[in-house]
Amino acid sequence: MKILHTSDWHLGSAFESRTRQEEYEKTLDWMLGCIAENGIRAVIIAGDVFDTSMPPSSAARMYYNFLLKAGRAGVKDIVVIAGNHDSPMYLEAPGELLKMLNVHVFGSIKQDGFDNIVELKEEDGSIAAVVCAVPFLRERDIRRDFVPGEETREHSRAMEKATQQYFSDIYAYAKAKYPDAPIIGTGHFYAAAGKTSGFYGNAGNQAGVEMAAFPAFDYLALGHLHAPQPAGKPGNAHYSGSLLQMSFADVDNNKKILMLDTGSLQNIQEIPIPPFQKMLKISGNLEQLASRIDELKAIGESIWIYASNTGEYCPSLHSRISAACDDSPLIPIGCKNMAPNPNPLKEPSKDLTLKSYTPEQVFLMLLDKIQEPQEIKDSVLAAFREAAASLEANEKGEEA
């Protein structure tokens, strides 16, 4: 049986206030084509179906249309788990109705027993695989030893151990009940060795979970990190990555869906998702940026652009980039001066926006307005710089 693994759709998300509905619709239609072309019989959506707990009706419509059309394209079972962006209650509300379409939705886990195991059956009724459908695990789901006032490090370690224990328990239960069937797990969490791709300082406020202590699922379908990648030991755990590029930090990650076959779950086939909205980071001094924009104009395609000025600080950078893109399908989404503002505390020009400043420059302007002794300001500034340095380090390895 062929199974498709996807995650992190974030339906309903916008990009700098720009709607992505058309982009989502085209991507989901493309996925339905892949399902029909490859004879997919089961689909796993590993969390963050929606971008918010109460998504707009347009996002819900796309989701339900996909579920209906996937069934018509030959899919026999769809397993959906909640991610940290999803509302468990919202996802599960139509659960009884969706069961009639063989759509199995799991927003949260029960306190006792395992009702989140799905049998994937062949046409002859034999079991092709068993899915342990584990959604995003919240503290109230898996911890009984909460200690008021415990330190962050202790809390993170306790959550990590509780997560590992839950996966071990459900795997042992499934293996005992279905000793001859491949056991597939799902999860929505941050594996400690994972590479992330956003401008985020953490992974959805989750500490990394070490995979070495996880049971040896035949396949573990993960969501949460937006860069497609393996998740480390036990070796057959994979993130499919987000459906779309969710930020300009995500531009270099080619989006994929993963296809597996219950006959050989070690062989994972990656299917690249075509980009239906091009996004591009460009950099250089003002002259180089203008030249690059002219080159892109000649292509004549809609491209969302983030421009980094590596030359002298330009207080009117946003206006200059916008003017350069006029009368073209290029859309400047963001821009940044890499050089610091030589006069950060002067009254800002009307042409400047928040994006024209570095975070420290903004912090200095705010600090200047506070009536406190200079030694206190110096202490606060030092704390800010320490936090900013920690955040920059985390951006290289964590994601929301």
If we measure between CA atoms, which residue out of 254, 260, 225, 219 comes closest to residue 239? 225
Q: Which CATH architecture has domain 2-272?
A: 4-Layer Sandwich (3.60)
pLDDT (tens digit, 9 = 90+) per residue, 172-198?
999 999 999 999 999 999 987 656 554
Checking if the pLDDT of 301 tops 60, the result is yes
Domain locations in the chain as residue ranges: 2-272, 278-369
Looking at residue 194, its pLDDT comes to: 56
- pTM of model > 0.85: no
Higher-pLDDT residue of 206 and 78 is 78
- The C-alpha angle with vertex 81 and arms to 79 and 84, in degrees rounded to 5, equals 160
- The C-alpha angle with vertex 273 and arms to 272 and 274, in degrees rounded to 5, equals 110
Helix residue ranges per DSSP H, 73-199: 88-92, 95-99, 139-142, 152-177
Q: Give, to the nearest 10 degrees, the angle between helix 317-325 and helix 286-299.
A: 30
**Separation of alpha carbons 282 and 334, rounded Å:** 11
Checking if the pLDDT of 343 tops 70, the result is yes
Check: CB of residue 76 under 8 Å from CB of residue 131.
no
Helix (H) or strand (E) holding 203: none
pLDDT (tens digit, 9 = 90+) per residue, 74-93?
999 999 999 999 999 999 99
Looking at residue 312, its pLDDT comes to: 94
Looking at residue 155, its pLDDT comes to: 76
Looking at residue 149, its pLDDT comes to: 65
Looking at residue 7, its pLDDT comes to: 98
How far is CA 72 from its chain centroid?
28
**Separation of alpha carbons 368 and 103, rounded Å:** 57
**Separation of alpha carbons 224 and 240, rounded Å:** 9
If we measure between CA atoms, which residue out of 203, 192, 187, 198 comes closest to residue 239? 187
* Cis check: omega of the bond before 234, within 30 degrees of 0: yes
Q: Is residue 139 exposed (0-12), middle (13-18) or buried (19+ Cβ within 10 Å)? A: exposed
Looking at residue 258, its pLDDT comes to: 98
To the nearest whole number, what is the mean pLDDT of the chain? Answer: 87
